[in-house]
Amino acid sequence: MTVRVRIAPSPTGNLHIGTARTAVFNWLYARHLGGTFVLRIEDTDQERSRPEYTQNILDGLTWLGLTWDEGPFYQSKRLELYQQKVQALLDKGLAYRAYDTPEELDAMREAQKANGEAPRYDNRHRNLTPQQRAAYEADGRSSVIRFIIEDDREIAWNDLVRGNVSWKGRDLGGDMVIARAASGNDFGQPLYNFVVVVDDIDMNITHIIRGEDHIGNTPKQILLYEALEATMPTFGHTPLILNEAGAKLSKRDGVTSISDFQRMGYVPEALVNYMTLLGWSPPEGMTEIFALEEAAQHFGFERVNRAGAKFDWDKLNWLNGQYLHIKPADKLTDLLIPYWQAAGFQADWSDRPWLERLAAVIGPSLSRLDEAVPMSEYLFKDAVGFTEDAIAQLKQDGSAKAIQAVADAIAAHQPLTETTVQDLIKQVVKDQNLKKGLVMRTLRAALTGAMNGPDLVQSWLLLHQHGLDQTRLQAALEAAQGK
Ligand code: GLU
């Protein structure tokens, strides 16, 4: 049997991290077994689906490297198939038209509540006579299509992650609506639990791997597989991603869509690596830093946890840093330019040597690409302000002397290189009889405006190439002298 799995996002929002993680597990499973990964866009909900969300989902999956083998298939283009299948269930007597008005349904639920019962449809229109039906139609009532769920059914499956799971028919809320209201012989919009099964059957999906939030849908879907006389797939419900408080990660937690992570400067290799670790543990001997292809070699559901996976920003940042620190300067430069440009920095963007040198200098300190903006601002701006600490440093005894001596020595050390800068500093230390630490700290304050930051000598060389070192030294001298 060839394994066929799918990811079936609804385009009612941007690609969510939970959906993306489900996509990762499906992708890994397909690649592990040489199977097929199908993409289906579940856009039957016309009111909430938007083309821009579909685009965001396709872009996000592509950016993450979660390549699909078939699709994207759009449910909105497959309505005819769903209608045929609704009709087939009606013809077999496994589904029926129910004419309840919203007011009647509300009254039914209120009565159940008053009796301390769980709300459910009481199947009151399951056995209408042809005369009753005709009377409702003559009244102009519209009807939904309900699929029969017998209370005494026991539905069980062997879940890839959770092992044996079973449900009772009576806990499924009564006969379920599979198509929304329409008049006469028409069908309204078919609903998720139904279309997902029709499509999974039609696309020969063998393994349904999705988030645990869908576990309550699975018994209903199993009954639909039976009704449609299809081969039962294997189900696997993956643990949810939890926030700090241990609740399901939701929009309220702030950043949850893949495009947000992208904008914040996470790289796709790090994000897919991290998402894989949200629920899956690599086998012994395998490091936590891996490419998807590598994880695919070892992936299986026996190492997927049942417990929810806590989202850990520190770990993600650490992992992202690991990828950024080893990025070649030219690649890192390509990634950083959009951030610098978005921040409004001015530079000659074709001056690759300068930009790559800068990328190489700050790369080892980055855990996110967007951090490059505050970290390198002092190299793009003509003038920088001084932090309080920097001012304090500049006002120390000997600082002004050090700055003046450095400024005077630059001309004699051309061309300025790592070696000549070191020589220059040594000479200033010796000639002015100053401590090297003081000279270095003063230079950092003078050139960068702050006491912490990327490598000082490299920063100096970058500034020098833009003719900015002398002006910075002069400004620092004025600050040192309290002007
Ligand atoms: N459209 C559903 C969702 O986005 C798919 C669920 C499933 O995989 O069956 O949650």
Say what the pLDDT of residue 293 is. 97
Q: With a cut of 90, say whether residue 233 has pLDDT above it.
A: yes
Q: Whose CA is nearest to atom 10 of ligand 1?
A: 9
pLDDT in tens, 77-105: 999 999 999 999 999 999 999 999 999 99
Average pLDDT, the chain: 96
Q: Is 236 in the pocket of ligand 1 (CB under 6 A)?
A: no
- Pick 249 or 358 by higher pLDDT: 358
Q: Is 11 in the pocket of ligand 1 (CB under 6 A)?
A: no
Q: With a cut of 90, say whether residue 217 has pLDDT above it.
A: yes
Q: With a cut of 80, say whether residue 476 has pLDDT above it.
A: yes
Say what the pLDDT of residue 1 is. 79
Structure-token pair, residue 83: 């209608």
Question: CATH number, domain at 224?
Answer: 3.40.50.620
Please give the positions annotated as active site: 251
Which of 31-45, 127-141, 175-189 has the lowest average pLDDT? 175-189
State in Å: Cα 16 to ligand 1 middle.
12
Task: Give the number of the atom of ligand 1 that is nearest the alpha carbon of residue 8.
Answer: 5
Q: Is 42 in the pocket of ligand 1 (CB under 6 A)?
A: yes
Task: Give the number of the atom of ligand 1 that is nearest the alpha carbon of residue 6.
Answer: 8
State in Å: Cα 115 to ligand 1 middle.
34
Q: With a cut of 90, say whether residue 249 has pLDDT above it.
A: no
* 266, part of any domain: yes
Q: Is residue 277 located within the same domain as residue 420?
A: no
Q: How does residue 182 score in pLDDT terms, banded at 50, 70 and 90?
A: confident
Domain residues for the domain of 165 are 80-193
Q: Is residue 232 located within the same domain as residue 267?
A: no
Q: Is residue 145 located within the same domain as residue 219?
A: no
Q: Is 214 in the pocket of ligand 1 (CB under 6 A)?
A: yes
Task: Give the number of the atom of ligand 1 that is nearest the alpha carbon of residue 42.
Answer: 1
Q: Is residue 54 located within the same domain as residue 201?
A: yes
81 CB burial (10 A radius; 0-12, 13-18, 19+) = middle
Say what the pLDDT of residue 86 is. 97
Question: CATH number, domain at 262?
Answer: 1.10.1160.10
Instruction: To the nearest 10°, report the CA torsion of 356, 361, 362, 367.
Output: 100
Say what the pLDDT of residue 87 is. 96
Q: With a cut of 90, say whether residue 482 has pLDDT above it.
A: no
Q: With a cut of 70, say whether residue 483 has pLDDT above it.
A: no
Q: How does residue 431 score in pLDDT terms, banded at 50, 70 and 90?
A: very high
Question: CATH number, domain at 464?
Answer: 1.10.10.350
Q: Is residue 402 located within the same domain as residue 416?
A: yes
Tell me: cis bond preceding 415? Omega within 30 of 0 counts: yes
Q: Is this structure's pTM higher than 0.85?
A: yes
b/e per residue 340-376 (b: at least 16 CB within 10 A) = beeeebeeeeeeeebbbbbbbbbbebbbbbbbbbebb
Q: What is the mean pLDDT of residues 214-235?
A: 98
Q: Is 191 in the pocket of ligand 1 (CB under 6 A)?
A: no
Q: Is 144 in the pocket of ligand 1 (CB under 6 A)?
A: no
Q: What is the mean pLDDT of residues 355-376?
A: 97
Q: What is the mean pLDDT of residues 173-190?
A: 90
Task: Give the number of the atom of ligand 1 that is nearest the alpha carbon of residue 19.
Answer: 4
Structure-token pair, residue 275: 């998402």
* 258, part of any domain: yes
Domain count, the chain: 5
pLDDT in tens, 447-471: 999 999 999 999 999 999 999 999 9
Tokens 């999705």 appear where? 210
